[in-house]
């Protein structure tokens, strides 16, 4: 039984100017992919976030902002001690 001759391992390293070109083109390719995929996020209306009426922009923006402001105020009033810190592990 004859053994195969050893060959050098294949590598994926590119030689020459291609790596520099690929690094330069990467942002352009990413931007093109985002532009191509943007209609997917229009939810069939053809508008961003599916908003086809300009009056809907106000609640879509204000509701999350007001909710965040209220939550941030609530969270700042809470004590930061650990609730489970007082739990006795020996007690079962």
Do the Cβ atoms of 60 and 49 come closer than 8 Å? yes
DSSP string, 16-28: SSHHHHHHHHHHH
Q: How confident is the model at residue 32 (pLDDT cuts 50, 70, 90)?
A: confident
pTM over 0.75: no
Q: Helix and strand tally (H, E) in the chain? A: 2, 0
- Read off the pLDDT of residues 35-91 as tens digits, 9 standing for 90 and up: 776 666 666 676 777 777 888 889 989 999 999 999 999 988 887 776 666 666 676
User: DSSP alpha helices (H): ranges in the chain?
Assistant: 18-37, 57-77
């Amino acid at each position: 039984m004859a053994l195969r001759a050893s060959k050098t391992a294949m590598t994926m390293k590119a030689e020459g100017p291609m790596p520099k070109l690929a690094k330069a083109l990467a942002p352009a390719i990413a931007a093109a992919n985002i532009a191509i995929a943007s209609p997917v996020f229009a939810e069939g209306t053809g508008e961003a976030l599916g908003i086809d009426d300009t009056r809907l922009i106000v609640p879509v923006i204000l509701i999350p902002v007001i909710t965040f402001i209220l939550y941030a105020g609530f969270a700042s009033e809470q004590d930061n001690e650990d609730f489970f810190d007082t739990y006795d592990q020996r007690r079962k």
